[in-house]
Amino acid sequence: MSTLEIKDLSVSVNDKPILSNLSLTVNSGEIHALMGPNGNGKSTLLSTIMGDPDYTVTHGSIMLDGKDVLSMSVDQRSKAGIFLAMQYPIEIPGVTNSDFLKEAINARRESPIRLFEFYRLMEGAIHDLKMKPDLAHRFLNQGFSGGEKKRNEIVQMKLLKPSIAMLDETDSGLDVDALKLVADAILDLHQTAPMGMLVVSHYKRFYDYLHPSHVHVLINGSIILSGEKDLIERIDSEGYDWIYRQYGIDPSNNGKTSSGLLGTCATKGAFNGNL
């Protein structure tokens, strides 16, 4: 059982504030959908949790099972159980997938994994994600299509078995078959070893597969609205304008009035314009 607890988090890039007093708690077994218009801080939140050096935390805390995440280096965060499937996985020429993954697995073990066991696990993950069998011997993400890169992120997630997994637009670049394949692999892992998940996507179809337990809308660096799955339905059909209107948000600046919490009924109320 793991808990990621974010409190009053403010983050800036090159002195420009991106996140402002954001709070969120993710427990094992929960799947949190994070939605919001482009450029409002969703990826910043995930990257900050992972420890991307481009982002500066100016206020607040991130704790994983009571331990201060912000004081950890990036590799320590990973070994503590945090995983980020990146929006744009990086190409590393000269480093093969198998060498990389073996090193990553060994980084969180006391004794090195046996080669036979490693290849059995890797081949299983490659098979599940329907990657080409030569994946192990190819350089990490080099020459991969967009979809292959995204699937390779999930191969890594399956092998590293994080306690908190963050997916940053993993569904973008995937065709409809690959999307289901990836979602099935994520759900399979989630059912075998329940993780806390924080999933960024713009699309209902991906969330339909994942069945998130919580839904949040992040605008202008703050979580404006939280609710359940029907919030995704409404955003999918109506966009974000109704949220701007109801919460008095000017999407062109950082001004906002208040944040709200919507359960299913409250969301239905919002549908009827009663908020």
Partner 1 sequence: MAICNPIVISGENHLNVVEPLVYWQLNGNTNLDVMVQPNSQVTLVLDLNACRSVQFHAMVQPDSILDVALVSMKDQSIDQHYRITLQNGATTNIRSCFLGNAKKTMKMEIIHHGLSTVSTMEHYGLINTANDFKIEAIGTIEKEADNTQCRQALRALTFSDHDHVTMVPSLYIDNYNCSASHSTSIGAMSPKQLYYLQSRGLTMESITLLLAKGYITPVLELIPEEELKTQLREEIEKVVIDACLTKLQ
13 binds partner 1 (CB under 8 A): no
Q: Taking Cα atoms as reference points, which of 200, 189, 175 lies closest to residue 87?
A: 200
72 binds partner 1 (CB under 8 A): no
Does position 103 bind partner 1 by CB under 8 A?
yes
Whole-angstrom distance, CA of residue 111 vs CA of residue 78: 18
Nearer to partner 1, 134 or 175 (CB): 134
- Asked if residue 94 binds partner 1 (CB under 8 A), the reply is yes
CB of residue 101 to partner 1, shortest distance in Å: 8
196-255: contacts with partner 1 (CB under 8 A)? none
The site map against partner 1 for 107-146 (x = CB under 8 A) is xx------------------------------x-------
DSSP state of 163: S
Is residue 187 within the footprint of partner 1 (CB under 8 A)?
no
| Cα 56 to chain centroid, rounded | 19
For partner 1, the closer of residues 166 and 223 by Cβ is 166
User: Which range touches partner 1 (CB under 8 A), out of 20-28, 84-92, 194-202, 216-224?
Assistant: 84-92
Say if CB 202 and CB 36 are below 8 A apart: no
The least CB distance from residue 26 to partner 1, in Å, is 18
Q: State yes or no: residue 67 binds partner 1 (CB under 8 A).
A: no
CA 111-115-117 angle, to 5 degrees, is 85
State the residue for tokens 């299983």. 124
Question: How far is residue 166's CA from residue 84's CA, in Å, rounded to a whole number?
Answer: 5
Nearer to partner 1, 80 or 275 (CB): 80
Distant-in-sequence, close-in-space partners of 96: CB < 8 Å, separation ≥ 6: 136, 137, 138, 139, 140
Concatenated DSSP letters of 142-156: TT--HHHHHHHHHHH
Of 93, 133, 143, 273, the one binding partner 1 (CB under 8 A) is: 93
Q: Buried b vs exposed e over 72-89: b needs ≥16 C-beta within 10 Å?
A: beeeebbebbbbbbbbeb
CA distance linking residue 66 with residue 46, whole number of Å: 19
Q: Is 56 an interacting residue with respect to partner 1 (CB under 8 A)?
A: no
- Name residues contacting partner 1, limited to 154-183 (CB under 8 A): 156, 160
List residues binding partner 1 (CB under 8 A).
Answer: 50-53, 73-75, 77-79, 83-84, 86, 89-96, 99-100, 103-104, 107-108, 139, 156, 160
